[in-house]
Structure 1
Amino acid sequence: MSDFLVVGGGVIGMMTTLHLADAGHSVTLVERGQCGREASWAGGGIVSPLYPWRHGAPISRLSAWSEGRYPELSLRLLEETGVDPEYRQKGLVYLRVDDEQAAMSWAREVGKPLERVSDTFLYDKEPEAAPGFSDALWMPTLGSIRNPRLAQALRARLDDMPRVTLREHCEVTNLRERGGRVVAVETPAGELHGDQVIVCGGAWAAEVMATVGVTLPIRPVKGQMILFKAPPGLVRRVVLMDGRYVIPRADGRVLAGSTLEETGFDKSLCASAKDSLWTSATRIVPALADCEVEHHWAGLRPGSPDGVPFIGAVPGIDNLHVNAGHYRNGLVLAPASTHLLVDELLGREPILDPTPYRLTGGRLKGARTGASRS
């Protein structure tokens, strides 16, 4: 039996496992597919909520703590695995922001660099940005990370840690509860056991939790994205306009995203979404119209009320914990949310107040049945 059993091998699950293994504990990580290949792979990798001033304090606090940890984590993983997560701190350009006053007020309140810049500044930073803007908003500290590479690096690191056991292509079908504890995690390959069980199942977390009578209000929300094969330097930094964005990679490729679709667990692609993304991207950077669309894909975000994740112990089950429901900000919030939960698990002083993220009756759709499962 491992000290901890983590259900879900996305960035949240892998970072949780890394924290626990770093602290000297044995961990079994169980993933229904391949680690890091769902929402963690499909997203864009912006290390900030898209419009951070439009979120409440619980998300802002997690985001502020997380943002400064990615440079160190990226360097660590590069040294330990040889896989470069490609953290880039090039800033973000906002075009056409309707609630600029709210943005500036938020920046002053939290001490975040954000300023209105002239057209000269804008086109010096991004010469290919859409023409005709007289000003823009500029956030110089924002970074981005190449999330598929981050997932690859985390998996490689965990695979090399003797205290970690990876169980991929192993779907959890049931959490068996008896006497107020999870006594077994059932899979088609047999039962798995951990002294403490942590559900980090992303869009699938509600299905796992339902097996112990907990109705967690997390739903899948599809997002489609496209990738342009562009020459290096065409787009230099993240540019955001009208809720859509372009994100450059070190090799010149440019991601454009993303859609928001309530389609359940359906990840099928559609031409209309691709056309819409192409139109948005070429409005932001017209020169992308001359570049090949190399890839088109979809992922499932774990949607939750107000986007505030559920982090902490499950009431009524002594050894069950959750870290899920990050909606569009899983990668953004991962360092803080995983550290916060591990602080609780190991009895350490928490990095911030855990109260807003706890699983309380007011945050859950339904109460636990209390029925024991054996």
Structure 2
Amino acid sequence: MSDFLIVGGGVIGMMTALQLADAGHAVTLLERGECGREASWAGGGIVSPLYPWRYSAPVSNLSRWSEGFYPELALRLLEETGIDPEYRQKGLLYLRVDDEPQALAWAREVGKPLERVGPDFLYAKEANAAPGCDGALWMPTLGSIRNPRLIKALRTRLVAMRRVTLKEGMEVTGLQRQGSRITGVETATGSVSCERSQVIVCGGAWAAQLLAGVGINLPVRPIKGQMILFKAPQGLVQRVVLMDGRYVIPRGDGRVLAGSTLEDVGFDKTTTDDARDSLWHSAVRIVPRLADCEVEHHWAGLRPGSPKGVPFIGALPGFDNLHVNAGHYRNGLVLAPASTRLLVDQLLKREPIIDPEPYRPTEALSW
């Protein structure tokens, strides 16, 4: 029997499994579909909250730790798997920021490089950006990662690890409880015993549904986001550019992602023409030359929405062996290294990287 059983094979579940296996523990990971094919695949891969100064300290603290870890993780996975997650640290340009004074004050307070630059600097960095801007905010340290390749690399590494048992196509439909312990998980193909295991729910937007069966009211719900992908010539966009809440993200092969919508429509992942048109117009406002490029793909994913975007990380009250790591909202990829490390620190009784208290699930959870 494994020391740990993880429910959910997104980036949170896979990074948790990797760290526990690195520490010498046997891990079983159950994923209802294919690992990483939900929100982890659907996101854009910006390694920062979009407007970080607008977030609370708990989100910012996780984000800062994760940003510093991604370069190391990308190099490790490339070396171990031969798959390049394409971590790119080329900075971010913010166009038309309404709360610029607050942004600059936040940057000074946390020691983050962020400065106001003029139009000459802006167009030297991004020649095809929206014309006529009188300047921008520039964050030179921001990076992005190509999340589908990150997911592929993580999965490949886990499959190769002797201590990890990866079971895909195994949907968990419920948890079996005896007193204060989870003794098994119910799946579409039968039950899996975990009486002696620590159980970790990393089910993203589906985490609340699973935990409701054992009396936990976790305030996490799906928030749909749609994105489009342009087949653009290499070099058309060099770095992440953000304007009016929408963004474009370049990939190493020239493709450009544009996102994203925010839709509270339950578990509906249907793409819509209205969203596609809205995303196209936003992208073309940011980089007008994208109007000449083919839209190669249009998709939707479900973010695990939570109050104020602060994830729930830690042991669930009333249980001896049940834990959660869910509710990252728009920042699952951003916060994954830190949030998984924080939970693993607690599971292994290590000194936590940051104070775990702001993320601790409590008895009276409600939306």
The TM-score normalised by the length of structure 1 is 0.97
In structure 2, give the amino acid aligned to 1:8.
Answer: G
How many angstroms apart in 2 are the aligned matches of 1:257 and 1:147? 14
1:340 aligns to 2:342 (yes or no): yes
Conserved? CA contact 1:2–1:193, under 8 Å = no
Residue 199 of structure 1 corresponds to 201
Q: Secondary structure at the match of 2:148?
A: helix
Find the counterpart in structure 1 of residue 176 from structure 2.
176
SS at match of 2:3: strand
CA distance in 1, matches of 2:15, 2:181: 24
Q: Deviations along 1:284-320, whole A, 9 cap, x unmatched?
A: 0000000000000000000000000000000001100
Which residues of structure 1 form unaligned runs of 5+? 367-374
Q: Is the Cα–Cα contact under 8 Å of residues 173 and 186 in structure 1 kept in the other structure?
A: yes
Are the counterparts in 2 of residues 77 and 157 from structure 1 also a CA contact under 8 Å? yes
What is residue 86 of structure 1 aligned with on the other side?
Answer: 86
CA distance in 2, matches of 1:121, 1:254: 22
Within 5 A, what are the aligned runs for 1:1-374?
1-194=1-194, 195-361=197-363, 364-365=365-366
Q: Which amino acid aligns with 2:210?
A: V
Q: Which runs of 4+ in 1 moved over 3 A?
A: none
User: Contact (CA 8 Å) 1:198, 1:322: kept in 2 or not?
Assistant: yes
1:11 shift after superposition: 0.2
Q: SS at 2:334's partner residue? A: helix
Q: What is the distance in 1 between the residues matched to 2:361 and 2:316?
A: 6
Q: CA–CA distance in 2 between the matches of 1:339 and 1:158?
A: 17
SS in 1 for 2:184: strand
Q: Percent identity at matched positions?
A: 76
User: Given that residues 317 and 363 in structure 2 are in contact (C-alpha distance below 8 angstroms), is that contact kept between their aligned partners in structure 1?
Assistant: no
Deviation, 1:129, is: 0.2
| Unaligned segments of structure 2, at least 5 residues | none
Instruction: Give the AA of the match of 2:366.
Output: K
Deviation at 1:365, TM superposition (A): 1.3
**Amino acid in the other structure paired with 1:327:** Y
What one-letter code is carried by the residue in structure 1 that aligns with 2:323? Answer: H
Code of the residue aligned with 1:129 in structure 2: it is A
Q: How far, CA to CA, are the matches of 2:296 and 2:169 in structure 1? A: 28
C-alpha separation between the residues in 2 aligned to 1:24 and 1:361?
32
1:39: Cα distance to partner? Answer: 0.2
* AA in 2 matched with 1:126: E
Q: String of CA shifts for 1:186-212, please: whole Å, max 9, x gaps.
A: 112222133100000000000110111
Deviations 1:166-221 (A, max 9, x none): 11011101100102100001112222133100000000000110111101010000
Indicate if the aligned counterparts of 1:339 and 1:351 stay in contact, CA closer than 8 A.
Answer: yes
Paired residue type of 2:269: K
In 2, the alpha carbon distance for the partners of 1:221 and 1:155 equals 25
Residue-by-residue CA offset, 1:304-345 (whole Å, 9 max, x unaligned): 000000000000011000000000000000000000000000
Q: Given that residues 238 and 248 in structure 1 are in contact (C-alpha distance below 8 angstroms), is that contact kept between their aligned partners in structure 2?
A: yes
| Secondary structure of 2:172 counterpart | coil
CA offsets 1:196-247 (integer angstroms, 9 cap, x no match): 0000000000011011110101000000000000001000000000000000
* In 2: Cα distance, 1:334 partner to 1:69 partner: 10
Q: Does the 8 Å CA contact 2:207/2:326 hold for their aligned counterparts?
A: yes
Distance in 1, Cα, partners of 2:330 & 2:217: 21
Confirm or deny: 8 A CA contact 1:46 1:332 kept in the other structure.
yes
Say what the alpha-carbon RMSD is for the aligned residues. Answer: 0.7
Q: Secondary structure in 2 aligned to 1:302?
A: strand
* CA deviation map 1:131-153 (0-9, x unaligned): 00111000000000000000000
Q: SS at 2:149's partner residue? A: helix
Q: Which moved more, 1:182-191 or 1:23-32?
A: 182-191
Alignment partners' CA distance in 2, 1:271 and 1:189: 38
State the AA in 2 paired with 1:79. Answer: E
Q: Tell me if structure 1 keeps the 8 A contact 2:66–2:338.
A: yes
- The alpha carbon displacement at 1:360 in A equals 1.2
Q: Counterpart of 1:346 in structure 2: which amino acid? A: L
Indicate conservation of the 8 Å contact 1:5/1:193, yes or no: no
How far apart, CA to CA, are the structure 2 residues paired with 1:79 and 1:191? Answer: 37
Q: What letter matches 2:74 in structure 1?
A: S
- CA–CA distance in 1 between the matches of 2:358 and 2:2? 29
- CA shift, 1:361, in A, is 3.3
**Aligned partners of 2:114 and 2:219: how far apart in 1?**
34
